[in-house]
Amino acid sequence: MIKQRKWFAIPGFLTLAAAAAILSAYAGASSSQGNSPAQPVPFPHPMHVQTLKMNCVYCHFSANKSPDPGLPAMSTCMGCHTVVGTSKPGVQKLASFASKNQPVPWVRIHKVPEYVHFPHMRHVNAGVSCQTCHGNVQNMAQVSQQNSLNMGWCVNCHVGRSNPPFKARYDCATCHY
Amino acid sequence: MSSETSKPGVKRREFLKVVGAGSATATMIGCSSERVEKLIPYFVSPDQTVPGVSTYYASTCRECASACGIIAETRDGRTIKLEGNPDHPVNRGALCAKGQAALQGLYNPDRYRTPMVRRGGKLEKTTWDDALKIFGDKLAEARRNPGGVAFINRHQSGGFPQLLNSWLAGMGMAPALSIDPDADTTAIAANLQTFGVAWPRYDFASTRLIISFGADFLDGWGASVPQQLDFADARARGANAPRFIYVGARRSLTGLNADDWIPAKPGSELAIVQMLSGASTPQQAAQASGVDVARLTALQTEFAAAKPALVLAAGGGPNGMELCLAANALNGTSGAVSIADAYRGFEGIDPVSHIRALGQRMQGGGVSMLMVHNVDPVYLMPKSSGFRAAMAKVPFKVSFSSIMDETSEMADLILPDNHSLESWGEAQAVTNTLSLQQPTMDPVFDTRAIADVLLAVSRTTGTPIATMPDYRSLMISRFPGGAAGLAAALPKGISSGSVQQPAGSKALPQPVAAANAGNGDFTLLVYPSPALGMGEGANKPWLQELPDPVTKIAWQTVAEIHPATARKLGVENGDHVIVETAAGKLSLPVYTYQGIREDVVAVAAGRGHADSAGRYAKAGSNAFDLLTYAEDRSGSIMLGSTRARVTKDGGHSRLVTTEGSARQHGRGIAQAVVVGQLGGTHEASGSEHAAEAAPQGSVSGEQKERALGEKAAAGEHGGEEGHPEFPGDASHEFLPGLRSPTAKDAQGDLGGPGTKSKEKGMYDPEHWSGMARRRWAMTIDLARCTGCSACVTACYAENNIPTVGADWQGPKVLPDRTGFGANITRSREMSWIRLERYFEGGEDGGADFETRFVPMLCQHCGNAPCEPVCPVYATYHAPDGLNVQVYNRCVGTRYCSNNCPYKVRYFNWFGYGEPARAQYAFPEPLNWQLNPDVTVRGKGVMEKCTFCVQRIREAENRAALEHRGVEPDEFTVACAEACPSRAITFGDAADERWTVAKLVNDERAYHVFEELNTYTAVVYLKKVNHPGAMTTSPVAAPEVH
């Protein structure tokens, strides 16, 4: 009797374990937390933010007025780098893009899942710092994704469980439409 | 955030220019975020634009001659939506379906992408330098015999025709023909003769009676949009509204809006007009028209008593000119025809006889060079005119067409023009008002504005017509105040002034009567399709998919015959008949329609283009193939004088229709009241069923409110006592006003002290978010709605709704359901809003029936049947009254759709929004139009009207940025914004400052299927009927209990 039961229990257990493994692997795949791809031109945020004291919205110019945070145009980069740091290999790489009238094809890191709308300006104007979501980019020589950007992570803040607490609507259609 | 997956094969220049800051939100389905996406920055940021925030350009719609003002919404370098310009004197903020669909002309995948030249018999791509050199050489050659050159231009008002004619004159060539296939050139000729203007404004509100003789002023006859606005305003005046009688062989959309229909024989309208003017007796008119003497006597009596009355008549018949002149004469002194406010855009349109005469010259070898700009005479001219063969004899043919069509297919050189949304220009809208046209984005393809090409060529050929390098400079040079003046006027889109139009004094060719009108028991009536016009709209999938407002047929050409005729022939809907005339024959599926005479067969024009006209335009059959070419006295083509034989053919096709039944079967979906039953004021009375109530509404508003409150309370009570609550069960508690449910809120721990928020969260009106203090709602006034379906196309444009009827989109496994419209025959159309059209009365097939149009969309029920049946909570009721569909959660069980009594949920069967799939609905560059604020849905999700939640969020975001609340009537939804009869009102019903909050308490307000306790947020206002002495059809809906 016991022996018989074992022959049912073992495959059953194995199936469950396999299912759990697949599901957890799938769940992990839905976030690219920790992703830190190399960029076509190395952009040292610490140099620009800490040393040169540049504000985030100097380059990400529409983060406080548009759903879209804004990506600096090549002309913004070349405004300084036509004369500044021209001996550095990264700047030379940038200049070679610019001389060919090509934009730098930056690799995207932060992306909320599909079917979600994330208006940057609402968050910025509510006093949510850039670092709350993006991590301490000012310290990152190469930017990596610090947070999962998954729904549970978003909602945690919207329902006021963050520190400091924020209050925001958590109705589905606030973001999903 | 700007993002775009880098694609090989896209030209870098275009990529930078337009993709620069792309649209992250118009993304495709997919769980994986592993795909490497690129963020492509601008090279140089454009001035004054913020990525992710729209820029708006005022311009002018050039889809017809009316010259409506448009506001083009442009996001990150792409134009994504057109709205009417509220400050424009013509359309006053409204825009029709054709105008909305101009975007699909701009982004049409079948546009010419480069200049083309014929080499070795085939059209090949070439460069502009090469093409212009060829053009210059040929012009130099042609100048030796300037009389052998002809130019056919698409009619447009403004400065361009003048430029064109001076360019031609500089080389000694004849002025261009100015052709507008949609314009009724018979009526224009008559108007010029009677009033001295091409198209006067009709003051419907000042009349007591409107009689239309085939004049479809709501669907394409003249300035449709302003006429619809004026007509709806007039008809909304309750007891002061004019009655409307339609006379014609077929009840068109305009005819369906009439209170009575007199089905006169085609061509007999003149006899009835003569009766009205006293030149003949009702007996004589009855004999000519085949209508009852009693009816005509009633018409005569009513006309004599109604002062003032407005009589409108259209051409197209054998004696069109005489008819229009006689009708105009009846209006002579009524004051309902305003000449001062005439629509000046219709001036200078040449009748089709000029093209026919040109064809004869070409046939005789008298034309050495033909230039055509955005007209398609090869399609437009009936086969029997022989135009195509004649054109083939012209040695050198140049086309300026921006899009593939039958005419440019025959050209030797194609110099593709910019689309009107990429060009500078101006139109003469009304007297002393210019409507300005400016590019709303950079050209999509390697095209050039024709005006700039002419200016460039004129310099190289040594006959410069202006010193200015391009048309914009030319505009500035004659604009008061120059560049600064133009820059100041552009944001408004209009300026005072006028442009001299070329005199339309070309000698009219001797008209040709029908060589052989043929014989047969039927008269063939070819009518311009309300959506496709005379065929210009056929290459736009939105317009192909838009069900005809009358027949509800999409993508297909049918033969409309009366049900009694069908019985005689032994055919039913979809059975093929052969329609045979002296000109040709077609086998067409039958559509039985009781709004047509028994001796008439009607076929809509516009479909059935050749393969060369692109992937969409070839759907259906070409009605012009049946037409025997004949002209009336004004030189206009006769559309209703060909005799036809109709015989049964073997085959059967499923009708590509979106209609289930044309009858309400007692469901009370479209309700109506008789004008006499209306109370004097809106506050005075109110009854859910006005026909039940005493004539002067005996139920007061307060009583009604109390009754409703009791009903709601009973519902709540019943819920608590009668049935236990289950998780996921719809709430039995409702907020006051337009009832919206409350619910338990799993996250509801944010309430302030002393509130219920602990449990109810955002569903508590006291909750800090204030969400439950709003109730987004909509009213639709059926007394104003004309059924024109502009709202449908506006919704397609705003909400990225895929069209599903193209021949590559059908189900591949069902061989009997292939071809155009296959998905629609399986009810798989995706239109979030649809126009239902119901007939009342006339069950015997008689002419006395009434039509009710009901725009049907998600009702955003307070007690929604779809919500409790969703196993995954993909649909739920938001605290602000929206019935929300969360695409991420949806697994596609379709239970919600099964449980929806309104059938307004649409399932995405094939992933129409996914580029990798065969059924993809947006072939490049149609996808450039997609609204980045709205998700493009993938395969396997349910979708439906969202009440334009993206617009709600946008308004809230804007208000938050400006530290204020959303102002009453600050924004509206896409359907309401476009509506050319102002039937739709959207807003917050819980805030009495919004217009909609007043309208939901109107005495005519009712909810569809109120007996189901769905507590809908869409409130309809009953249609108002104006029965007359001759009306016998029932005037109010059967009541539902």
pLDDT computed for residue B681 by the predictor: 42
Supply the pLDDT for residue B712: 39
Tokens standing for residue B233: 């305003």
DSSP E strands: which ranges in chain A? 106-107
What three-state secondary structure class fits B13?
helix
pLDDT value of residue B694: 32
Which 253-282 residues of chain B touch chain A by CB within 8 A? none
Structural tokens at position B455: 């200016």
Position B733 scores a pLDDT of 59
Yes or no: say if B612 and B676 are a contact pair by the CB < 8 Å rule.
no
Beta strand B1005-1006 with B1018-1021: parallel, antiparallel or unpaired?
antiparallel
> Residue A12 has what pLDDT?
64
The reported pLDDT for the residue numbered B687 is 33
Phi, psi of B987 (to 5 degrees): 165, -160
The CA distance from A134 to the nearest CA of chain B, in Å, is 14
Residues B794, B787: Cα–Cα separation, whole Å: 14
Q: Is A160 left (phi over 0), alpha (psi -120 to 50) or beta?
A: left
Output the average pLDDT for chain B.
Answer: 86
Q: Is B171 on the interface with A (CB under 8 A)?
A: no
Kind of pairing between the strands at B38-39 and B243-247: unpaired
**Binding-face residues of A in 14-33 toward B, CB within 8 A:** 29-32
CB contact (8 A) between residue B933 and residue A170: no
Non-local CB neighbours of B1002 within 8 Å, separated by 6+ positions:
B682, B686, B779, B1021
Low-confidence residues of chain B: pLDDT under 70:
1-35, 333-334, 503-505, 513-517, 680-760, 816, 1032-1041
A148 shares contact with chain B (CB less than 8 Å)? no
Closest CA–CA distance from residue A169 to any residue of chain B (Å): 7
Chain A nearest-CA distance from B791, in A, is 20
In the structure encoding, which two tokens stand for residue B365, read together?
Answer: 């070898």
Supply the Cα-derived Rg of chain A in whole angstroms.
Answer: 23
Residues in chain A with CB shorter than 8 Å from the CB of B53 are 62, 65-68
| Partner A, chain B 14-73, Cβ-Cβ below 8 Å | 16, 20-21, 24-25, 27-34, 36-45, 50-53
**Residue (of B831, B838, B839, B829) closest to B791 by Cα position:** B831
Q: Enumerate residues 932 to 951 of chain B having a beta carbon within 8 A of any beta carbon in chain A.
A: 933-935, 946, 949-950
- Residue A30, pLDDT > 90, answer no
Q: DSSP states of B664-677 as a string?
A: -TT--SS-EEEGGG
Of the partner residues A70, A105, A167, the one whose CB lies closest to the CB of residue B38: A105
Q: How far is the alpha carbon of B501 from chain A, nearest alpha carbon, in Å?
A: 45
Query: Which chain A residue is nearest to residue B34, measuring alpha carbons?
Result: A32
B-chain CB neighbours of A121 within 8 Å are: 957, 961
Of A30, A62, A160, the CB nearest to B52: A62
Q: Using alpha carbons, select from B330, B209, B332, B315 the residue that is nearest to residue B279.
A: B330
Closest CA to B397 of B364, B373, B363: B373
Helix ranges (H only) for B413-562 are: 450-460, 471-478, 482-489, 541-545
Q: Is the distance from CB of B434 to CB of B449 less than 8 angstroms?
A: no
For residue A28, is pLDDT > 90? no
3-state secondary structure of B706: helix
AA letter at B407: T
Residue A62 has its nearest CB partner, among B12, B51, B876, at B51
A160: nearest CA in chain B?
B750
Q: What is the pLDDT of residues A111-128, one digit of tens each?
A: 888 789 999 999 999 999
Contact B212, B244 (CB under 8 A): yes
Whether A79 contacts chain B with CB within 8 A: no
How many CB pairs lie under 8 A apart between chains A and B?
159
Instruction: Give the pLDDT confidence score for residue B713 in this predicted structure.
Output: 37
d(CA B1004, CA B1012): 19
How far does B883 lie from chain A, in Å, by closest CA?
A: 9
